[in-house]
A = this chain, B = another copy of it.
Amino acid sequence: MPNAASKTAITPRRDEDFPEWYQQVVRAAELAEPSDVRGCMVIRPWGYGIWENMQRQLDVMFRATGHRNAYFPLFIPLSYFAKEAEHVEGFAKECAVVTHSRLEVDVDGKMKPASALSEPLVVRPTSETIIGASYAKWVQSYRDLPILINQWANVVRWEMRPRLFLRTTEFLWQEGHTVHETEAEARAETKLILDLYERFVRDHLAIPVFIGEKSESERFPGAVQTLSIEAMVQDRKAIQAGTSHFLGQNFSRASGIQFQNREGKEEFGWTTSWGVSARLVGTVVMMHGDDDGVVLPPRIAPTHIAILPITPKEETRATVLETCDKLARELRAVRYADVPIEADVDRRDLGGGTKNWEWIKKGVPLRVEIGPRDLEKNSVEVSRRDQAVKAKESMSMREFVRRAPEILDSIQQNLYEHARKFRDENTRMLDSKKEFYDFFTPKNSEKPEIHGGFGLAHWNGSREVEDQIKNDLKVTIRCIPPAAAGEPGRCIFTGEPSPRRVIWAKAY
């Protein structure tokens, strides 16, 4: 009997304390860890590899829709930043500010900042204003439009209560910034990207989302309209997984992005901005992880298949390792989802059980054991991460190489179906205030962290109601679904008319 403690290092379980489980899983899988720099994290190779896969796959989608990558400065002069009033107000409370350009040894022998800057620089929390300054130079005529640019970058928003991946002072993201000739084109771009994000998280991260518009209180500072994709993770809270903003002419007016239109008149450009961040890595963990650790959708796994040599006897050791290497080579020659399969032979001099559990915790989609007995039969023992830890299927090596892409694909599909089922089971129509408050209030029998879900309820559109609900239950409107998705009714809080149900949830 294996020692119970060796089965899993993840304590507590999800149903005991979900937030703590999350922190433990992220560390046990070596995805990331907190750094000593307040609110900042270190992304370890396994976690960064997931992010790199997301980047590569998003880049293909951005490119296919005509976007190109570029890079703009990290620092924003305070005066630029302040050009759009709502914008600066929205970010003022969380800005890292550079005020000096050198260090000097003080009289007491300690290093201190020196050479104060004439104008402080804000470390970008987002780049609308600094990119706008460039666009103002590049755009003269309608012939220069559209501008369709994306940037992969680090941004900084001072964070008092950091959480690995989900909320950190520095974080990695992509931010698209586009300028268009007409309002209709800019609105179409905003929607195009929302749909692209929805497709990306569905097909690559196995995450089903609801899409819709943010209410005014949750809108990006300076935007006319913010669209978002909203995922439900296993404690039934929402994670905002991506946003796409229609900025109207607010930022082009602030930055002077002006062009001569087809009628020869000067006009301000219509801009959009949109982004997803490495928060998606945390979302994947909260979405698919189990009590044994991370479970990765194969399309974004840095390694698809971990090959684990079982070498109990010295005399068969070399042959086992050779066979493992041969299998890895054969697998790498097979493609899955447009890339060669990544197969790693874990040659480390550790116990087989230890290695196996490390890969389980890391969430590698397939583990393959090869020992002396398998050599004789020319077979392998295959374990899928979406099945019970002890489940193994024996198959011939040749069959495994042939079937690997199909098995990976089936894991990807399973994860999606499982997530969709969970979300749908925990999404309710709420038709009265009582039902609403009951849904979002933990019962005695429940763990405080596991209750509620997404509530679809009619709302009169007022900020007062939103504030009251947030205050009472910590529940907010996640998004207002597209018009086509709903029918008119009556606000369950006020009885006033409501054009359609909106989605309510607690959120990260």
- Of A43, A73, A112, most B-chain CB atoms within 10 Å: A73
- Please name the residue on chain B nearest to A98 by beta carbon: B96
**CB within 8 Å of B: which A32-48 residues:** 33, 35-37, 40-45, 48
Asked if A100 and B99 make an inter-chain contact with CB atoms under 8 angstroms apart, the answer reads: yes
List B contacts of A81 (CB < 8 A): 111
Provide the A75-106 mask, 1 if CB < 8 A to any CB of B, else 0: 11110111000001001111111111111100
Residue A113, interface by CB 8 Å? yes
Provide the A121-149 mask, 1 if CB < 8 A to any CB of B, else 0: 11100000010011001000001000001
For the complex, give the distance between the alpha carbons of A44 and B349 in Å.
48
Residues of A within 8 A of B (CB): 33, 35-37, 40-45, 48-49, 51-52, 68-78, 80-82, 88, 91-104, 111-113, 120-123, 130, 133-134, 137, 143, 149, 153-154, 156, 158, 170, 172, 349
List B contacts of A134 (CB < 8 A): 33, 35, 42
Asked if B98 and A69 make an inter-chain contact with CB atoms under 8 angstroms apart, the answer reads: no
List B contacts of A44 (CB < 8 A): 70
| Given known A36-B133, A96-B121, contact A111–B42 (CB-CB < 8 A) | no
- Please name the residue on chain B nearest to A46 by beta carbon: B68
Asked if A103 and B130 make an inter-chain contact with CB atoms under 8 angstroms apart, the answer reads: no
For the complex, give the distance between the alpha carbons of A81 and B78 in Å.
26
- Please name the residue on chain B nearest to A133 by beta carbon: B36
Asked if B120 and A123 make an inter-chain contact with CB atoms under 8 angstroms apart, the answer reads: no
Q: List 28 A-B contacts (CB under 8 A).
A: A35-B72, A35-B133, A35-B134, A36-B77, A36-B133, A37-B130, A40-B74, A42-B70, A42-B73, A45-B68, A48-B70, A51-B71, A74-B156, A74-B170, A78-B111, A82-B111, A88-B103, A93-B102, A95-B100, A95-B101, A97-B98, A97-B99, A97-B100, A98-B123, A99-B113, A102-B158, A112-B120, A143-B349
How many copies are assembled? Answer: 2
Asked if B37 and A121 make an inter-chain contact with CB atoms under 8 angstroms apart, the answer reads: yes
List B contacts of A137 (CB < 8 A): 33
For the complex, give the distance between the alpha carbons of A103 and B91 in Å.
8
CB of A2 to closest CB in B, whole Å: 23
- Please name the residue on chain B nearest to A75 by beta carbon: B37
| Given known A48-B69, A71-B172, contact A37–B97 (CB-CB < 8 A) | no
For the complex, give the distance between the alpha carbons of A130 and B120 in Å.
25
Asked if B42 and A72 make an inter-chain contact with CB atoms under 8 angstroms apart, the answer reads: yes
| Given known A96-B98, A97-B100, A103-B88, contact A73–B40 (CB-CB < 8 A) | yes
